[in-house]
Amino acid sequence: MDDEQWLTVQQIAERLQMHEQTIRKWLRTGELSGVLLGDKGGWRVRPRDLEVFLRGRGWAPQDEHRKAAP
């Protein structure tokens, strides 16, 4: 792995205000790209992969919504 900070399922769930099981489902089905580090290690997701996933669903980051508003 590179020096980039990887996100845990818990961190993603907190950011999106969603249940951790929803994030795990996206990872298991391949909708969200991530790496499974074994049963105890859990999933890890690159921030850029999360951003691609969110943009693909039309969920722009909050700061972009502010820029678009008149």
Give the pLDDT score at 43: 97
Pair of tokens at residue 33: 């790209």
How sure is the predictor about 12, in pLDDT bands with cuts at 50, 70 and 90? very high
Residue 2 confidence (pLDDT) above 90: no
Using one digit for the tens of pLDDT, what is the confidence trace for 28-56?
999 999 999 988 899 999 999 999 999 99
How sure is the predictor about 63, in pLDDT bands with cuts at 50, 70 and 90? low
CB proximity list for 53: less than 8 A, separation 6 or greater: 26, 31, 32, 33
Query: 46: burial class by Cβ within 10 Å (0-12, 13-18, 19+)?
Result: middle
Domain boundaries, the chain: 7-68
Q: For the CA atoms of 56, 20, 41, 60, what is the dihedral angle to 10 degrees? A: 30
Residue 17 confidence (pLDDT) above 60: yes
Q: Measured in whole angstroms, how far is the alpha carbon of residue 3 from the centre of its chain? A: 18
